[in-house]
Structure 1
């Protein structure tokens, strides 16, 4: 089913040693396009830089620990990107068949079925949970929130011209996940069961830490909106015909 016009099997890196049956799943994870990894990972590195500069400084965060956390986040990013891309490709398969750049993806070309893609998404979620489980429940909660935000994204391409804003909500949310990993979570008061919800919210809103995190969060959203709109512009003619909505289609020639 991989004999589709315009498709050629990746032959670089890990793909040189990978069984043919694994290739479509690796493509769903975008392992053949490592540059997109940074669109996710930079948010985690920025969050890590923010977290380690929060006072009081953590005496147990030395350079070695910092590098290990960054490496751990790199592994999580690889899996999390795979989760979101697999989910997105599955929901967008009818759109992708109408877009020249996307019609050779595994699901549109028939290399992976809808059911197989959903199962693969579930497997990746389980792997991702195992990766983050050493960092505690609060980190897993933040990962779940982040996942929900990015799972909503493909639905918005059907009903609004601003899905990139919601994509920014998801990608930039990395800052809260990272801060929770080292015990500096600005949203931690929201999880305090001993307080009323109104008190929890008030404590977060008044917190200088939460305020600074919110500023960084908004900056990450703006950054995501800009780069993803520019990236999507290459497909805007096909997207327009297919009925895909987004800022690239909305602005067309103004970009």
Structure 2
């Protein structure tokens, strides 16, 4: 039996629906706390950037705080971004089977209440950001631009996933700068690798909604690629892997480089595994494979962290 207010694509048995006080549930659902994979996908690039910066420089005790701050910030900013997305997409969400159960179209909260909740989350995230030094603060403020644009991208371009990639991987740059390093070629390669990875996993995700999107006129790479999706995904896989390999090759030497390259290989092999299983007309499988990208990203993060401490 479906619980009142439960969102259709929430993780079954999630803590929000089971444990959170009832009055908080609509707000936590706005923040996607019942669907945590997006928070992971926002956090993981931060840890990539931090680990590569540590490997390229000298690890510091402050790096522990950067890692924790990125985790807290990812929860808050993913929540704020999703709330903003639901405010701007409230009419679209009501017309799509998978999203009409979200808090705004289902009447659990008003648009005004959602806007207040968004501001609270941004304010809390700002407190965390201000502890990371001026370069990171500037980059954090700049990140609000792609976050604000993304919900509208699907209305004017077939490539909204590019805007998502720009926003979701900004943490690579921010964490690198928080460590005290100047932006350069290696971190930009890692950032671009993240964008290619986002194009990979979010195209898979978008195949869930392609029929409803076509009816309401929403654009996506899933609709653009159609039956050629697999070929495009191979391209994104290759781009993400090569760019990540370039990033670590520029930054690292010796044993750390070998460890990091092993991580890039494992990351690529996970995406190959996803491609071998993918059926673009099976929405449940698309969602499952999308969620598995948490593991793909963590694999690379683990190897980069290992390279930083050897």
Pick from 187, 212, 222: which aligns with 1:238?
Answer: 212
Residue in 1 aligned with 2:56?
Answer: 54
> How far off its partner does 1:134 sit?
1.3
Unaligned runs of 5+ in 2: 230-310
Correspondence for 1:195? none
Contact persistence 1:54–1:184 (CA under 8 A)? no
- The 5-angstrom pairing of residues 1-255 of structure 1 reads 12-13=14-15, 15-55=17-57, 57-58=58-59, 61-62=60-61, 65-186=62-183, 210-255=184-229
2:251 matched residue in structure 1: none
Does structure 2 conserve the Cα–Cα contact (< 8 Å) formed by 1:146 and 1:171? no
Unaligned residue ranges in structure 1 (runs of 5+): 187-209
1: CA distance, partners of 2:126 / 2:32: 20
CA distance in 1, matches of 2:227, 2:218: 16
1:17 deviates by 3.7
Q: Judge conservation of contact 1:84–1:147 (CA < 8 Å) in 2.
A: no
Shift of 1:13: 2.4
Q: How many residues align?
A: 226
**RMSD of Structure 2 on Structure 1 (CA):** 2.2
Q: Which residue is equivalent to 2:292?
A: none
Secondary structure of 2:156's partner?
A: coil
- Tell me which stretches of 4 or more aligned residues in structure 1 moved more than 6 Å: none
For the residues of structure 2 that align with 1:166 and 1:90, how far apart are their CA atoms?
Answer: 18
**TM-score of the superposed pair, with normalisation by structure 2:** 0.68
- Secondary structure, aligned partner of 2:144: helix
Residues 96, 212 of structure 2: 8 Å contact kept:
yes
Q: Contact 1:176/1:185 (CA < 8 Å) preserved in 2?
A: no
* Residue deviations 1:212-252 (CA, integer Å, cap 9, x gap): 12211111111111110111111100111111111012122
What residue number does 2:298 align with? none
| TM-score for the superposition, normalised by structure 1 | 0.82
The answer on whether the counterparts of 2:6 and 2:17 sit within 8 Å (CA) in structure 1 is no
Label 1:7 to 1:177 Cα distance change in 2 as closer, same or farther (>3 A): closer
